[in-house]
Amino acid sequence: TLAMLVFDESEDVRSVQLYGTDPVYVGKAAEILCAEHGVAHIDLNFGCPVPKVTRKGGGGALPWRRGLLAEILESAVRAAEPYGVPVTMKTRKGIDEDHLTYLDAGRIAQETGCAAIALHGRTVAQAYSGDADWDAIGRLVEHVDIPVLGNGDIWEAADALRMVEQTGAAGVVVGRGCLGRPWLFRDLAAAFAGEQVAVLPTLGEVAAMMHRHAELLVQHMGEERGCKEFRKHVSWYLKGFRAGGELRRSLALVETLPELDRLLADLDPAEPFPVSELGAPRGRQGSPRRVVLPDGWLADQDGRSACVTEELESGSGG
Protein backbone atom coordinates (compact mmCIF):
# COMPACT_ATOMS: atom_id res chain seq x y z
CA THR A 1 0.00 0.00 0.00
CA LEU A 2 2.83 2.40 0.80
CA ALA A 3 4.04 1.97 -2.79
CA MET A 4 0.99 3.99 -3.82
CA LEU A 5 2.46 6.97 -1.97
CA VAL A 6 5.34 7.39 -4.40
CA PHE A 7 5.00 10.73 -6.19
CA ASP A 8 6.94 12.25 -9.05
CA GLU A 9 8.79 15.49 -8.36
CA SER A 10 6.62 17.22 -10.95
CA GLU A 11 3.41 16.46 -9.02
CA ASP A 12 2.54 19.74 -7.35
CA VAL A 13 -0.65 18.53 -5.67
CA ARG A 14 -0.12 15.17 -4.02
CA SER A 15 -3.56 13.64 -3.64
CA VAL A 16 -4.43 10.34 -1.98
CA GLN A 17 -7.79 8.58 -1.88
CA LEU A 18 -8.64 6.58 1.24
CA TYR A 19 -11.19 3.86 1.79
CA GLY A 20 -12.32 3.12 5.33
CA THR A 21 -15.24 2.28 7.59
CA ASP A 22 -13.79 3.00 11.03
CA PRO A 23 -13.54 6.66 12.14
CA VAL A 24 -10.52 6.00 14.37
CA TYR A 25 -8.50 4.24 11.68
CA VAL A 26 -9.43 6.77 9.02
CA GLY A 27 -8.32 9.60 11.29
CA LYS A 28 -5.02 7.89 12.07
CA ALA A 29 -4.43 7.19 8.39
CA ALA A 30 -5.10 10.81 7.51
CA GLU A 31 -2.63 12.02 10.12
CA ILE A 32 0.07 9.62 8.90
CA LEU A 33 -0.45 10.78 5.31
CA CYS A 34 -0.12 14.43 6.32
CA ALA A 35 2.70 14.10 8.84
CA GLU A 36 4.89 11.49 7.19
CA HIS A 37 4.13 11.60 3.46
CA GLY A 38 3.45 15.25 2.74
CA VAL A 39 0.16 14.79 0.94
CA ALA A 40 -1.68 17.96 -0.03
CA HIS A 41 -5.19 16.54 -0.45
CA ILE A 42 -7.12 13.57 0.98
CA ASP A 43 -10.24 12.18 -0.67
CA LEU A 44 -12.51 9.62 0.99
CA ASN A 45 -14.17 7.08 -1.30
CA PHE A 46 -17.80 6.30 -0.51
CA GLY A 47 -18.74 5.34 -4.05
CA CYS A 48 -17.33 1.86 -4.65
CA PRO A 49 -20.07 -0.59 -5.83
CA VAL A 50 -17.95 -3.77 -5.60
CA PRO A 51 -19.86 -6.49 -3.66
CA LYS A 52 -16.85 -7.51 -1.55
CA VAL A 53 -16.80 -3.92 -0.25
CA THR A 54 -20.53 -3.19 0.14
CA ARG A 55 -21.23 -6.49 1.92
CA LYS A 56 -19.01 -5.17 4.73
CA GLY A 57 -20.85 -1.85 4.81
CA GLY A 58 -18.13 0.04 2.97
CA GLY A 59 -17.94 2.02 -0.24
CA GLY A 60 -21.27 3.11 -1.65
CA ALA A 61 -23.18 1.39 1.16
CA LEU A 62 -21.73 3.47 3.98
CA PRO A 63 -23.53 6.82 3.43
CA TRP A 64 -26.80 5.08 4.36
CA ARG A 65 -25.47 5.21 7.92
CA ARG A 66 -25.52 9.01 8.18
CA GLY A 67 -24.10 9.15 11.69
CA LEU A 68 -21.20 6.86 10.85
CA LEU A 69 -20.44 8.89 7.74
CA ALA A 70 -20.31 12.04 9.86
CA GLU A 71 -17.95 10.41 12.36
CA ILE A 72 -15.56 9.30 9.62
CA LEU A 73 -15.52 12.70 7.92
CA GLU A 74 -15.09 14.54 11.23
CA SER A 75 -12.17 12.28 12.14
CA ALA A 76 -10.40 12.81 8.82
CA VAL A 77 -10.97 16.58 8.75
CA ARG A 78 -9.79 16.95 12.34
CA ALA A 79 -6.61 14.97 11.65
CA ALA A 80 -5.76 16.87 8.46
CA GLU A 81 -6.66 20.36 9.66
CA PRO A 82 -3.40 21.11 11.58
CA TYR A 83 -1.48 20.48 8.35
CA GLY A 84 -3.75 22.65 6.22
CA VAL A 85 -4.71 19.64 4.10
CA PRO A 86 -8.23 19.73 2.61
CA VAL A 87 -10.44 16.66 2.83
CA THR A 88 -13.03 15.83 0.18
CA MET A 89 -15.38 12.92 -0.34
CA LYS A 90 -16.84 11.05 -3.29
CA THR A 91 -20.19 9.30 -3.24
CA ARG A 92 -23.02 7.99 -5.40
CA LYS A 93 -26.70 8.91 -5.49
CA GLY A 94 -27.49 6.15 -3.04
CA ILE A 95 -27.84 2.41 -2.71
CA ASP A 96 -30.71 2.34 -5.22
CA GLU A 97 -33.51 4.66 -6.30
CA ASP A 98 -35.50 3.74 -3.17
CA HIS A 99 -32.58 4.46 -0.84
CA LEU A 100 -31.01 7.74 -1.96
CA THR A 101 -28.39 9.37 0.24
CA TYR A 102 -26.59 12.01 -1.79
CA LEU A 103 -28.36 15.10 -0.45
CA ASP A 104 -27.79 14.03 3.15
CA ALA A 105 -24.18 13.14 2.29
CA GLY A 106 -23.67 16.62 0.87
CA ARG A 107 -25.11 18.25 3.98
CA ILE A 108 -22.92 16.09 6.23
CA ALA A 109 -19.82 16.81 4.14
CA GLN A 110 -20.47 20.53 4.50
CA GLU A 111 -21.21 20.35 8.23
CA THR A 112 -18.06 18.33 8.99
CA GLY A 113 -15.75 20.70 7.15
CA CYS A 114 -15.10 18.91 3.87
CA ALA A 115 -13.68 21.17 1.18
CA ALA A 116 -15.80 19.63 -1.61
CA ILE A 117 -17.92 16.64 -2.54
CA ALA A 118 -17.86 14.64 -5.78
CA LEU A 119 -21.05 12.91 -6.92
CA HIS A 120 -21.21 10.02 -9.36
CA GLY A 121 -24.66 10.31 -10.89
CA ARG A 122 -25.46 6.61 -10.52
CA THR A 123 -26.66 4.45 -7.65
CA VAL A 124 -24.67 1.53 -6.28
CA ALA A 125 -27.25 -0.81 -7.85
CA GLN A 126 -26.53 0.68 -11.27
CA ALA A 127 -22.79 0.12 -10.87
CA TYR A 128 -21.57 1.42 -14.27
CA SER A 129 -24.70 0.66 -16.30
CA GLY A 130 -27.16 3.07 -17.87
CA ASP A 131 -26.67 6.82 -18.01
CA ALA A 132 -25.35 9.05 -15.25
CA ASP A 133 -28.02 11.29 -13.73
CA TRP A 134 -26.60 14.77 -14.21
CA ASP A 135 -29.80 16.30 -12.84
CA ALA A 136 -28.94 14.79 -9.45
CA ILE A 137 -25.59 16.58 -9.60
CA GLY A 138 -27.45 19.82 -10.24
CA ARG A 139 -29.75 19.20 -7.28
CA LEU A 140 -26.75 18.65 -5.02
CA VAL A 141 -25.21 21.90 -6.25
CA GLU A 142 -28.37 23.71 -5.16
CA HIS A 143 -28.42 21.86 -1.82
CA VAL A 144 -24.95 22.73 -0.48
CA ASP A 145 -22.58 25.68 -0.37
CA ILE A 146 -19.33 23.73 -0.78
CA PRO A 147 -18.07 22.96 -4.30
CA VAL A 148 -19.66 19.97 -6.03
CA LEU A 149 -17.67 17.98 -8.58
CA GLY A 150 -19.64 16.00 -11.16
CA ASN A 151 -18.74 12.45 -12.15
CA GLY A 152 -20.21 10.09 -14.71
CA ASP A 153 -20.16 9.86 -18.51
CA ILE A 154 -17.30 12.28 -19.15
CA TRP A 155 -15.90 10.71 -22.32
CA GLU A 156 -14.65 13.83 -24.11
CA ALA A 157 -13.71 17.37 -23.09
CA ALA A 158 -16.99 18.62 -24.55
CA ASP A 159 -18.87 16.39 -22.11
CA ALA A 160 -17.17 18.10 -19.17
CA LEU A 161 -18.12 21.56 -20.43
CA ARG A 162 -21.69 20.42 -20.97
CA MET A 163 -21.92 18.91 -17.48
CA VAL A 164 -20.64 22.07 -15.81
CA GLU A 165 -23.02 24.24 -17.83
CA GLN A 166 -26.00 21.95 -17.17
CA THR A 167 -25.43 21.30 -13.46
CA GLY A 168 -23.49 24.29 -12.13
CA ALA A 169 -20.81 21.94 -10.83
CA ALA A 170 -17.48 23.48 -9.86
CA GLY A 171 -15.56 20.87 -11.84
CA VAL A 172 -15.55 17.26 -12.96
CA VAL A 173 -14.05 13.96 -11.88
CA VAL A 174 -12.99 11.55 -14.62
CA GLY A 175 -13.06 7.77 -14.25
CA ARG A 176 -13.44 5.34 -17.15
CA GLY A 177 -13.23 8.12 -19.73
CA CYS A 178 -9.44 8.25 -19.54
CA LEU A 179 -8.91 4.52 -20.13
CA GLY A 180 -6.69 4.28 -23.16
CA ARG A 181 -6.95 8.05 -23.56
CA PRO A 182 -4.45 9.78 -21.29
CA TRP A 183 -4.69 12.85 -23.52
CA LEU A 184 -8.19 13.48 -22.14
CA PHE A 185 -6.67 15.41 -19.24
CA ARG A 186 -4.79 17.66 -21.67
CA ASP A 187 -8.03 18.22 -23.57
CA LEU A 188 -9.92 19.01 -20.36
CA ALA A 189 -7.33 21.58 -19.30
CA ALA A 190 -7.50 23.24 -22.71
CA ALA A 191 -11.30 23.23 -22.80
CA PHE A 192 -11.69 24.78 -19.36
CA ALA A 193 -9.07 27.40 -20.25
CA GLY A 194 -11.06 28.32 -23.35
CA GLU A 195 -8.32 27.05 -25.64
CA GLN A 196 -8.60 24.90 -28.75
CA VAL A 197 -8.59 21.18 -27.99
CA ALA A 198 -5.77 19.37 -29.82
CA VAL A 199 -6.53 17.24 -32.86
CA LEU A 200 -7.20 13.56 -32.33
CA PRO A 201 -4.06 11.37 -32.35
CA THR A 202 -3.18 8.98 -35.15
CA LEU A 203 -2.52 5.32 -34.39
CA GLY A 204 1.21 6.08 -34.52
CA GLU A 205 0.82 8.73 -31.83
CA VAL A 206 -1.30 6.35 -29.75
CA ALA A 207 1.42 3.70 -30.10
CA ALA A 208 3.98 6.20 -28.79
CA MET A 209 1.74 6.84 -25.78
CA MET A 210 1.40 3.09 -25.22
CA HIS A 211 5.18 2.75 -25.18
CA ARG A 212 5.55 5.64 -22.74
CA HIS A 213 2.83 4.25 -20.49
CA ALA A 214 4.49 0.84 -20.35
CA GLU A 215 7.92 2.42 -19.87
CA LEU A 216 6.72 4.38 -16.83
CA LEU A 217 5.05 1.30 -15.35
CA VAL A 218 8.30 -0.65 -15.74
CA GLN A 219 10.25 2.13 -14.05
CA HIS A 220 7.77 2.12 -11.18
CA MET A 221 7.08 -1.60 -10.79
CA GLY A 222 9.83 -3.50 -12.56
CA GLU A 223 9.58 -5.08 -16.01
CA GLU A 224 7.58 -8.20 -15.14
CA ARG A 225 4.91 -6.48 -13.03
CA GLY A 226 4.91 -3.34 -15.15
CA CYS A 227 4.27 -5.20 -18.40
CA LYS A 228 1.63 -7.36 -16.74
CA GLU A 229 -0.12 -4.22 -15.48
CA PHE A 230 0.08 -2.63 -18.93
CA ARG A 231 -1.69 -5.54 -20.64
CA LYS A 232 -5.09 -4.52 -19.30
CA HIS A 233 -4.79 -1.16 -21.10
CA VAL A 234 -4.12 -2.58 -24.58
CA SER A 235 -7.76 -3.08 -25.59
CA TRP A 236 -8.68 0.41 -24.39
CA TYR A 237 -5.90 2.08 -26.38
CA LEU A 238 -6.74 0.16 -29.56
CA LYS A 239 -10.54 0.34 -29.33
CA GLY A 240 -11.93 1.24 -32.75
CA PHE A 241 -8.60 0.98 -34.58
CA ARG A 242 -8.11 -1.67 -37.29
CA ALA A 243 -5.46 -3.65 -35.42
CA GLY A 244 -5.87 -7.35 -36.17
CA GLY A 245 -7.02 -9.88 -33.61
CA GLU A 246 -3.71 -11.75 -33.56
CA LEU A 247 -1.74 -8.56 -32.90
CA ARG A 248 -4.15 -7.55 -30.14
CA ARG A 249 -3.77 -10.94 -28.49
CA SER A 250 0.02 -10.72 -28.67
CA LEU A 251 0.03 -7.23 -27.16
CA ALA A 252 -2.22 -8.46 -24.35
CA LEU A 253 0.43 -11.06 -23.46
CA VAL A 254 3.51 -8.83 -23.73
CA GLU A 255 6.27 -9.53 -21.19
CA THR A 256 9.08 -7.08 -22.03
CA LEU A 257 9.48 -3.57 -23.42
CA PRO A 258 11.49 -4.73 -26.48
CA GLU A 259 8.71 -7.20 -27.27
CA LEU A 260 6.15 -4.42 -26.94
CA ASP A 261 8.10 -2.18 -29.31
CA ARG A 262 8.35 -4.96 -31.91
CA LEU A 263 4.60 -5.47 -31.81
CA LEU A 264 3.76 -1.76 -31.88
CA ALA A 265 5.90 -1.43 -35.01
CA ASP A 266 3.33 -3.58 -36.85
CA LEU A 267 0.61 -0.96 -36.37
CA ASP A 268 -0.17 1.49 -39.19
CA PRO A 269 1.14 4.81 -37.83
CA ALA A 270 -0.90 6.85 -40.32
CA GLU A 271 -4.29 5.37 -39.42
CA PRO A 272 -6.55 8.20 -38.19
CA PHE A 273 -8.37 8.10 -34.89
CA PRO A 274 -11.74 6.29 -35.18
CA VAL A 275 -14.20 9.16 -34.77
CA SER A 276 -17.00 6.60 -34.31
CA GLU A 277 -15.57 5.99 -30.83
CA LEU A 278 -16.02 9.60 -29.72
CA GLY A 279 -18.52 9.75 -26.88
CA ALA A 280 -18.69 5.97 -26.61
CA PRO A 281 -18.58 4.40 -23.12
CA ARG A 282 -15.29 2.83 -22.09
CA GLY A 283 -14.37 0.28 -19.44
CA ARG A 284 -16.88 -1.51 -17.24
CA GLN A 285 -20.59 -1.21 -18.01
CA GLY A 286 -22.63 -4.29 -17.14
CA SER A 287 -26.23 -4.15 -15.94
CA PRO A 288 -28.05 -3.16 -12.75
CA ARG A 289 -27.77 -5.65 -9.90
CA ARG A 290 -28.89 -6.26 -6.36
CA VAL A 291 -26.60 -4.57 -3.85
CA VAL A 292 -25.02 -6.94 -1.35
CA LEU A 293 -25.29 -5.43 2.15
CA PRO A 294 -24.65 -6.61 5.72
CA ASP A 295 -27.66 -8.15 7.46
CA GLY A 296 -29.97 -5.45 8.78
CA TRP A 297 -27.99 -2.64 7.18
CA LEU A 298 -31.01 -0.70 5.97
CA ALA A 299 -32.71 -0.85 9.38
CA ASP A 300 -30.33 1.72 10.87
CA GLN A 301 -29.77 5.07 9.18
CA ASP A 302 -27.43 6.39 11.87
CA GLY A 303 -24.81 3.77 12.74
CA ARG A 304 -22.67 5.97 14.97
CA SER A 305 -19.71 4.09 16.45
CA ALA A 306 -20.83 0.96 14.63
CA CYS A 307 -18.24 -1.77 14.32
CA VAL A 308 -17.94 -2.28 10.58
CA THR A 309 -15.45 -4.89 9.42
CA GLU A 310 -12.65 -3.32 7.40
CA GLU A 311 -11.95 -4.72 3.95
CA LEU A 312 -9.22 -3.07 1.95
CA GLU A 313 -9.81 -2.84 -1.78
CA SER A 314 -6.94 -1.06 -3.45
CA GLY A 315 -8.54 -1.33 -6.85
CA SER A 316 -11.96 -0.06 -5.93
CA GLY A 317 -13.57 2.93 -7.56
CA GLY A 318 -16.75 4.86 -7.60
CATH code of the domain covering residue 166: 3.20.20.70
Q: What is the spatial distance between Cα 174 and Cα 243, in angstroms, rounded to a whole number? A: 27
CA distances from 64 to 88, 207, 223, 294, 296 (A): 18, 45, 43, 12, 12
User: DSSP character for 271?
Assistant: P
Residues 193 and 214 in one domain: no
Residues 151 and 293 in one domain: yes
The pLDDT score that the predictor gives to residue 72 is: 98
Point out the annotated binding site for FMN: 17, 90, 120, 175-176
The pLDDT score that the predictor gives to residue 67 is: 97
Residues 101 and 118 in one domain: yes
Residues 140 and 263 in one domain: no
Residues 191 and 210 in one domain: no
Point out the annotated binding site: 17, 90, 120, 175-176
Active site residue 227: no
Helix (H, G, I), strand (E, B) or coil at 52: helix
The pLDDT score that the predictor gives to residue 309 is: 52
- Exposed, middle or buried: residue 244 (CB in 10 Å: 0-12, 13-18, 19+)? exposed
Residues 182 and 37 in one domain: yes
Q: Residue 318 domain-assigned?
A: no
Residues 149 and 261 in one domain: no
Task: For residue 269, give the amino acid letter.
Answer: P
- Annotated catalytic residue: which of 34, 48, 114, 227? 48
Residues 61 and 97 in one domain: yes
Q: Residue 168 domain-assigned?
A: yes
Q: Residue 310 domain-assigned?
A: no
For the entire predicted model, the pTM comes to: 0.90
Residues 14 and 31 in one domain: yes
Q: Residue 255 domain-assigned?
A: yes
Q: Residue 27 domain-assigned?
A: yes
Report the CATH number at residue 244.
1.10.1200.80
The pLDDT score that the predictor gives to residue 86 is: 98
The pLDDT score that the predictor gives to residue 11 is: 85
Q: Residue 277 domain-assigned?
A: no
Residues 163 and 211 in one domain: no
Q: What is the spatial distance between Cα 105 and Cα 163, in angstroms, rounded to a whole number? A: 21
The pLDDT score that the predictor gives to residue 314 is: 46
Domain count of the chain?
2
Mean pLDDT by 10 residues, the chain (318 residues): 80 91 96 95 96 95 97 98 98 98 99 99 95 98 99 96 98 94 95 92 97 96 96 95 93 97 97 85 76 94 69 53
Pairing of strands 94-96, 87-92: unpaired
The pLDDT score that the predictor gives to residue 284 is: 67
The pLDDT score that the predictor gives to residue 317 is: 63
Parent domain of 261? 203-272
Q: Residue 304 domain-assigned?
A: no
Q: Residue 208 domain-assigned?
A: yes
Residues 219 and 163 in one domain: no
